Chain A
Amino acid sequence: MANGNNNINLKNPPLSGSDNNNKNRAAAAKRRKVSAGDKAFTICNTIFMILFVVITLYPVLNTLAISFNDGTDALRGGIYLIPRKFTLKNYITVMQKDNLITGAYITVLRTLIGTLLALVTNAILAYIVSRKEFIFRRALSLFWVITMYVNGGLIPTFLLYKNLHLTNTFWVYVIPGTISAFNMLVIRTYMNGISESLTEAAQIDGAGYTTIFLKVISPLCKPVYATIALFVAVYQWNSWFDAMLYNRMSDQYTTLQYELMKLLSSVTNQGTSAEAMKNAMGTVTPTSVRAAATIITMLPIICIYPFLQNYFVTGLTLGGVKE
């Protein structure tokens, strides 16, 4: 196929691509003297980034410190970056939660399946509404845009899922909400930016819509696919409300976050009576358990992130993609 050539041209591995990118820029820069303005810009930018890192890192480090600090001691406040009374108790408490392993298993499963499903469906829909010649292009876009701003409410939604026999099943996590207009529109915008000459060339070669989607558009959309995959994966990973609402009585479909939420609300200090408070309090406190649970939740995402990051930080060389 003729567009194969195009593909080959595009196939620069991301890392070397960025090297080229930097080299090109560096070469260009050498051609003239680096202006004083540029230098000042670099310095200011570096200072700004350092400040930004300090400000955003602080709450995370603070949470980390509290997660390793004795709960009762932490009630006194004044813990910043280093635990005052070190303990692993908070993590042990979290780890000993019943059903945690089932929850983790279901959560990983829903993250995988949910992300794949969402990626495929949103990409297909985005592709359809990005075709300028599609007859229902505007109508279909409007149909989906509206879904972002309307909401039937808790009870009607619950009844719908119940009637569809989605409650007390795993599928209630991944089937509803797999297409989100937001994600779809982000992909569509990216697709709109891809030069029409590429699709036209493929069309001349006799490629149909499906082929163009799979062979021409999708390979170019990796950065945006990676972005959406990240969004959906994080959403799936953090979800617990659906588990509580639709699978309250089905322990086998509990999720990690729901178990953590249950643990957290069981040590909550929001008790409104002596009974509730006596039930709730132990050697750990809501603050300390929350800190430990937060760190445990964040870890896997921090570990997977660098892989995804390749797609949207190190600039890809997509020669001739833009119009």
Chain B
Amino acid sequence: MKKKLLSVLMSMVIAASLAACGGAGSAEGAGAASGDGAQQASATGGSGEKEFTAFFAVPGAEINDDNEIQQMIADKTGVKVKETWLTGQTAEEAVGTLIAGGEYPDFIDGGDGMKQLYEAGALVALDEYIDKYPNIKSYYTEQEWDRLKQDDGHIYWINQFQNIKGKDTTCTHNDEAFWIQTRVLEWAGYPEVKTMDQYFDLIESYNEANPTMEDGTANIPYTILCDDWRYFCLENAPEFLDGYPNDGSVIVDPKTKKVIDYNTTDTAVKYFEKLNDEYKKGIVDPESFTQTYDEYIAKLSTGRVLGMIDQWWDFAFTAGDAIKSAGLDEKGCMYVPLPITISEDVHNQWHNSGGVLNVASGLAVTTSCDDVEGAIKFIDDLLGQEVHNLRFWGVEGVDYEVDDKGIFYRTPEERTNAADTAYKASHLCTYSYFPQWLGTSDDGKNANMPSDQPGEYYDSLAGKVKDCLSAYGAKTYVDMLGTNEAPGPWYPMYSYSNNLTTDTDAGVAWNLMGEVKHEYLPKVVMADDFEGAWDEYMKAYNNCKPEDFLAAMQTELDRRIEEAAKFQ
């Protein structure tokens, strides 16, 4: 009997030793390196390049150790960064553990835990270094650098995103909108659709005339994603309908400089009453409030859903790709945004041009880094145009081509490669959480990001989408909505509300409001008696003390305006 148990163990040992043979090389190599502290930045390979570590408290794609472009960047800059990403924890938890242990990677973006890192004294003040490095220095204006200062007057992190150099060439409307399938617009002869009522009328009449798709499956006229934090697809439309931009948590009246609660406006009542109406008519998908994100994406992917509210990025890279790969985009099932407001005299601000500086987080260098100078120089190097192109376009002739006018473009094969998970891991290296530019490159011709390159963008659109755009005299999604300058120096207010914690009354109120809206808004839409349900909702809502939250938002708004005044 002993033999039996032994044979089981033996079979496991054999399996292990087989694996060991395969892994011996890497394990031995690693064993040698493990002698000194694994945290240490140490020279690797024979080339003598410096290796830094980085941790980003967001989920992200790890790249392979032998990544090709990473090596090219290392050859140019002498630096390689080993990146690790958040897995299976919240940002706060991950950061909390790091602080408790007192050991940090060289670079860090703590996401929502950034403030904790600052308070723990884990970050290096960057002020004195910034002036020495021209690429970093010019990354933000004086005013923007000032906004990044913490309460001790120093700058500790550099926000990496949404920063525009040269000309804003944004083609995609990356943000929220009322979306509609091109087949609906085509059927109606590309009418002007400007108000919420017109939008739903159009969907209703299309659905009446065409209740099913070509293959006989029933259309879903309008669905609402409501899964967890994604319920913004249900709740924040009133701010846009009133013609305000996405401040996220409140409306800011640019004239009076006062915050307005968009949850309780007349427009909010009208919007939810409309949804309630459409729900009763069977236009709103009855599974709206119970579907998961995956189910929602599945519905969109089959092309059955005529319209919905969402952020572009929330469905385009999932359902959008599925629609394309099934050829449904050529049947008019791809979505375009519409400039919807509550009434025709309200001007829409669904799209804002220009960058958005989110001061709440960014890339920082930690006190564990033994070569701060080298680390900062590397950030500077990454912003140089040549390296920047290498990061986001790749290698010329391999990842993109250049035509005789010097314009970058990609062949369909290169475009496919750029989206391939394995190819990305072994070949591409964007250092995506290091500072980066949008807009146009130093040559004045090309966009910094392939997705912003107009030719590249237009080529990737389906014929039906091109038809639809040209019927409205548009070349890009942004043209469909028109664009607006950022409303004021306070924008966006969500960078404040996102970081409210339950330490404050405002934070408690903000969290409770979220809970109540999450539970009651679906009930309001599904209610037989709208008035009654709305009253009940308002009662629960007012119990959360929204006034505490609004007062804090007003204070922050005033502070931001005052800060900005210093630079005028």
Are chains A and B touching directly in their complex (CB below 8 angstroms)? yes
What total of A-B pairs shows CB separation below 8 Å? 196
* Given A249-B38, A279-B60: A98 in contact with B421 (beta carbons within 8 A): no
A67 → chain B, closest Cβ, in Å? 15
> CB distance B432 to A76 under 8 Å?
no
Q: A108 contacts which of B1, B15, B294 (Cβ < 8 Å)?
A: B15
* Given A102-B27, A109-B16, A252-B27: A72 in contact with B325 (beta carbons within 8 A): yes
Stretch at the interface among B86-94, B204-212, B273-281, B555-563: B86-94
> CB distance B23 to A101 under 8 Å?
yes
Q: B30 contacts which of A97, A102, A278, A282 (Cβ < 8 Å)?
A: A102
Residues of chain A having any CB pair with chain B under 8 Å:
11, 13-14, 70, 72-73, 75-78, 92-93, 96-99, 101-102, 104-105, 108-109, 111-112, 116, 154-155, 158-159, 162, 167-168, 219, 222, 225-226, 240-241, 244-245, 248-252, 258, 261-263, 265-285, 287, 300, 304, 307-308, 310-311
> CB distance A76 to B326 under 8 Å?
yes
> CB distance B419 to A251 under 8 Å?
no
> CB distance A249 to B84 under 8 Å?
yes
> CB distance B419 to A283 under 8 Å?
yes
**Does B551 belong to the interface (CB within 8 Å)?**
no
Residues of A within 8 A of B229 (CB): 272
> CB distance A104 to B23 under 8 Å?
yes
Residues of B within 8 A of A155 (CB): 96-97, 100
A293 → chain B, closest Cβ, in Å? 13
**Does B407 belong to the interface (CB within 8 Å)?**
no
> CB distance A76 to B60 under 8 Å?
no
> CB distance A96 to B425 under 8 Å?
yes
Return the 4 tightest CB-CB contacts between A and B, nearest first: A252-B30, A282-B421, A77-B298, A266-B61
Stretch at the interface among B5-13, B127-135, B241-249: B5-13
Q: A244 contacts which of B88, B96, B426 (Cβ < 8 Å)?
A: B88
* Chief secondary structure at chain A's binding surface: helix
Query: Interface readout for B417-447 with A: 1 if CB under 8 Å, 0 if not?
Result: 0011110111000101000000000000000
Number of B residues with CB within 8 Å of any CB on chain A: 80
Q: A266 contacts which of B13, B85, B88 (Cβ < 8 Å)?
A: B85
B54 → chain A, closest Cβ, in Å? 10
Q: B105 contacts which of A249, A279, A311 (Cβ < 8 Å)?
A: A249
Closest residue of chain A to B39, judged by CB? A249
Q: B38 contacts which of A240, A250, A281 (Cβ < 8 Å)?
A: A250
> CB distance A73 to B97 under 8 Å?
no
B256 → chain A, closest Cβ, in Å? 31
**Does B101 belong to the interface (CB within 8 Å)?**
yes
Q: How far is the CA of A265 from the CA of B91 in the complex (A)?
A: 14
Q: A76 contacts which of B84, B85, B161, B322 (Cβ < 8 Å)?
A: B322
> CB distance A108 to B88 under 8 Å?
no
Q: A250 contacts which of B34, B301, B311, B322 (Cβ < 8 Å)?
A: B34
Residues of A within 8 A of B416 (CB): 283
Q: How far is the CA of A267 from the CA of B420 in the complex (A)?
A: 11
**Does B237 belong to the interface (CB within 8 Å)?**
no
Closest residue of chain A to B422, judged by CB? A96
* Given A98-B62, A222-B5, A274-B313: A307 in contact with B11 (beta carbons within 8 A): yes
**Does B554 belong to the interface (CB within 8 Å)?**
no
B19 → chain A, closest Cβ, in Å? 5
> CB distance B318 to A281 under 8 Å?
yes
A117 → chain B, closest Cβ, in Å? 13
